[in-house]
Amino acid sequence: MDAPTTPDLHDILRRTFGFPGFRGQQEAVIARVMRGEHSLALMPTGAGKSLCYQVPALARAGTAVVISPLIALMHDQIRSAHAAGIRAASMTSADADNAATAEAFRNGELDLLYVAPERAATAGFQALLDRAEIALFAIDEAHCVSEWGHDFRPDYRGLRPMLDRFAHVPRLALTATADPATRVDILRQLGIPDDGMIIAGFDRPNIRYAIIPRDNGPRQITDLLARLPGAGIIYAPSRKATEDIAATIARTGREAGFYHAGLDPERRAAAQAAFVRSETMVMVATIAFGMGIDKPDVRFVIHAGLPKSIEAYYQETGRAGRDGDPAEAHLLWGVSDFSRARQWLGEVESERLAGEQARLNSLAALIETPECRRAVLLKHFGEHPPARCGNCDNCDNPPQVVDASELARKLLSAVYRTGQSFGIGHIEKVLTGASDERITSRSHDKLSVFGIVEGEEAGLLRPLTRTLIAKGMLAATEHGGLMLGPEARAVLKGEAGVTIAEPPPKARRTRRGRSAESASNPVGNPLFEALRARRKELASEHGIPAYVIFHDSVLRDMAHKCPETLAELGTIPGVGAKKLETWGGDFVEVIRGKLRG
């Protein structure tokens, strides 16, 4: 068919999705697809990646085949597509109607067909493709194709023969997370030309980043939750930790659930469904949770331990605030996290060791920086951000940078002279001259390092220890003691310096401070609250998440503009023709009732 003109695409955008115009690089990506060109789109979460294949799917003849890694993600996206009036289906092991879906695909009765990469490569599915008209191939979460990516999945490597067999069909790879090496690999693995890469930027300005040392994880988490309303995700480092943290949260009266790979499939599915439908639940999970979530109203993400890499951190924190409203990302880290990470490096294949070491060092730099967190994060992805963002902990309350080179030499020397087997508690006593039976029985009070640290320096020993471990200058023994790391020699010889960010004084604990919800929702507006209540009733009645009906941003516009007719309601961004037909009357009724009552 002839490629529709730009006004036709804008009409699809307005009529189907209710948006007055494209955002960022969406139109550039869609234009390439409409010209039949192969493309890679790097767009941050929340930038509208799905529109880049949904609009062409509605504009081109045939069905868009969408390769997606998780069944739950497919089903969430299909539910949202149906709400917008898009004909969408999936063929997965969890679907009972695959035969009917295949027939609809052959008959041209689908706009979108979602499949997993392992099914896409089967002979049966390949035969099905020969009997249908294909509008485009969309490869979602495309970083999974690269062994340099943080979430490599071998099944994605099997897609290239299928794509090349339909070389005339445009292919669109999409990801929110790819460093320069991963981008090059995606292009090569999927047969996309270099000039087909479009980068929309990685900044998520609505997310506030904060990173603090972990000293009492459960208490720190409950303190955070006391001022963070709405739905959120807490990433825990182990299965047991997910259950323990969820129980702690539940005892405070907050709705909480847990999710990990040790649960049977039915329990995992139930937990995920409950979280997707809730507007207030806190889900404590391992990293097995999240990629399959298409939930835009997550207000916060908390890491209770160190993420795998900066790429993983960016993707996991990116699950907050996908609706564009203010959101928060908090990371609690401890020295044991880096110790485990560096021990894991000893098990990495030699050809991958340098890359993994660089990833860990980049993560350490993000955690230890006294500068803007967002700037460090964006520079990692090759961007050139301003020096300050005004929306991270370091910008809000800049830490003091301290030259701790001399103190670091004292600390490293004490670790060495005591035999590289004691923890920081013992080392701290030796350095500060706090003699006890354990110290005198080992003659550590006779060492040259005994009592050489005093005053304000003593208060820096523990934050300095965290820094030295993060930078590989100290390492943990298998029994929890400290030993010199591979980077210690340069510091001891005076060839390398050490600076640390001295944390500002702790703020007084309060029950509720600035929150994502209070910053974005018109608190106390009775019309907004009435609209939310009606949305909740409709969502419960129809068994769908509230955000599938309308996002909070749409309800805010309704509360501000007070449309009293369907025609007026239809002018609000986010109100497409199908949603106007399905839900419009309910919300106009609420608005009229409030205005006239």
The crossing angle, in degrees rounded to 10, of helices 552-561 and 526-542 is 140
Instruction: Give burial (CB, 10 Å; 0-12/13-18/19+) of 264.
Output: exposed
Q: Is residue 282 within a helix (H) or strand (E), and if so which, with residue range?
A: strand 282-285
Task: Assess whether pLDDT exceeds 80 at residue 356.
Answer: no
Task: Assess whether pLDDT exceeds 50 at residue 96.
Answer: yes
Q: What is the mean pLDDT of residues 357-373?
A: 86
**pTM, full prediction:** 0.79
Q: Given pLDDT bands bounded at 50, 70 and 90, which one contains residue 512?
A: very low
**Using CA atoms, how far apart are residues 197 and 195, in angstroms rounded to an integer?**
6
pLDDT of residue 7: 45
Q: What is the mean pLDDT of residues 389-416?
A: 93
Q: What is the mean pLDDT of residues 489-504?
A: 85
**pLDDT tens digit sequence for 538-593:** 999 999 999 999 999 999 999 999 999 999 999 999 999 999 999 999 999 999 99
> Can you give the residue ranges of every domain in the chain?
6-199, 207-394, 401-502, 521-596
pLDDT of residue 540: 92
**pLDDT tens digit sequence for 446-493:** 999 999 998 888 988 988 988 888 788 888 777 778 899 888 999 999
**pLDDT tens digit sequence for 271-326:** 988 998 899 999 999 986 766 577 889 999 999 999 988 888 998 999 999 888 99
Domain range 521-596, CATH class = mainly alpha
Task: Assess whether pLDDT exceeds 90 at residue 42.
Answer: yes
DSSP 70: -
Instruction: Report the mean per-residue pLDDT for the chain.
Output: 89
The architecture (CATH level 2) of 6-199 comes to 3-Layer(aba) Sandwich (3.40)
Task: Assess whether pLDDT exceeds 60 at residue 521.
Answer: no
**pLDDT tens digit sequence for 110-157:** 999 999 999 998 999 999 999 999 999 999 999 999 876 666 788 898
Domain 401-502 annotated CATH 1.10.10.10: yes
In terms of DSSP H, where are the helices of 418-499?
424-432, 437-441, 461-470, 488-492
User: Which segments of 409-461 are extended strands (E)?
Assistant: none
Domain range 207-394, CATH class = alpha beta
In the block, tokens 């331990």 appear at 305
Q: Given pLDDT bands bounded at 50, 70 and 90, which one contains residue 505?
A: low
- Decide whether 207-394 matches 521-596 in CATH topology: no
- Phi, then psi, of 499 in degrees rounded to 5: -115, 150
**pLDDT tens digit sequence for 156-200:** 989 999 999 999 999 999 998 888 888 999 999 999 999 999 998
For the chain, what's the residue count? 597
The crossing angle, in degrees rounded to 10, of helices 461-470 and 405-417 is 80
pLDDT of residue 6: 46
pLDDT of residue 382: 84
